[in-house]
Amino acid sequence: MKSVTHRRDSDRTRKALVEAGTELFARHGFDGTRVEQIARKARVNKAMINYHFGGKAGLYRAILLSLFTATLERVGPLRDSPEPADALLRSFVKDFSEMVARQPSIPIMLVREAISGGRHLDRELLPCFTSIFSVVREIIEKGTRDRTFRQVDLLLTHLSLIGSLVFFFATTSLRNRLISEAYVQARIPEADAYVRHVQDLMTRALAAETPRAAPGGRT
């Protein structure tokens, strides 16, 4: 019974540290966040950060690795799906967006890390970026083979897709403020509406060109 209680307390402590760390890393960046701040927000002794994660860097890494692992578990099976490429791309946009949107601070962390040049990404985290890219690449390559999609630059397409989604969720607070204070004349966009917009935008932009009919009905 004692071990079960200890395990539950340990799980609660880890969860509290992850939640506190995620919010503070997003707000202040890795370098601007102190272990004392994380511990205070999580309401635990700062020694628990070392105990559970081996320090601030370990906590930061665990937060990002958890996101990447969960995302890859969600979108990875799309590689082997028999669905048409355009349907797979729509599924990828939806699944990726849902994973990022679950924790509003995560996309801000990703933007900060990208701006820093990935200074805090180790050799286990970096391949996660390429793994997500490979899912997008394989979907587009499938579409190109079956002539659903036209030939495009795979990396630029990936950057356009992931960049637009991460930026949308990372800038939610600023966008809502600009609209609510009437600096921008628009309705505050719902996440679902933006996801549908990106789905339509990407699938239509990638769609293979239909040959023009020649005079007399020939193509």
Position 54 pLDDT exceeds 80 = yes
Question: Per-residue pLDDT averaged across 11-27, rounded?
Answer: 93
For domain 62-208, give its CATH number from 1.20.81.30, 1.10.3720.10, 1.50.10.10, 1.10.357.10. Answer: 1.10.357.10
pLDDT digits 0-9 by tens, 127-139: 888 899 999 999 9
pLDDT digits 0-9 by tens, 169-210: 999 999 999 999 999 999 999 999 999 999 999 999 999 986
Position 9 pLDDT exceeds 80 = no
Say what the pLDDT of residue 123 is: 83
Give the mean pLDDT of the chain.
Answer: 90
Position 167 pLDDT exceeds 50 = yes
Please report, for the chain, the start and end positions of each structural domain, with discontinuous segments joined by +: 62-208
Three-class HEC string of the chain? CHHHHHHHHHHHHHHHHHHHHHHHHHHHCCCCCCHHHHHHHHCCCCHHHHHHHCCHHHHHHHHHHHHHHHHHHHHHHHHHCCCCHHHHHHHHHHHHHHHHHCCCHHHHHHHHHHHCCCCCCCCCCHHHHHHHHHHHHHHHHHHHHCCCECCCCHHHHHHHHHHHHHHHHHCHHHHHHHHHCCCCCCCCCCHHHHHHHHHHHHHHHHECCCCCCCHHHCC
Question: Per-residue pLDDT averaged across 69-88, rounded?
Answer: 94
Question: Per-residue pLDDT averaged across 115-125, rounded?
Answer: 86
Say what the pLDDT of residue 197 is: 97
Residue 184 has a CB neighbour count (10 Å cut-off) of 13
Say what the pLDDT of residue 6 is: 52
The distance between the two most distant Cα atoms of the chain, rounded to a whole number of Å, is: 85
Say what the pLDDT of residue 156 is: 96
Work out the pLDDT band at 10, boundaries 50, 70, 90. confident
Work out the pLDDT band at 217, boundaries 50, 70, 90. low
> Any idea which of 79-88, 115-124, 169-178 has the lowest mean pLDDT?
115-124
Position 213 pLDDT exceeds 90 = no
Position 219 pLDDT exceeds 50 = no
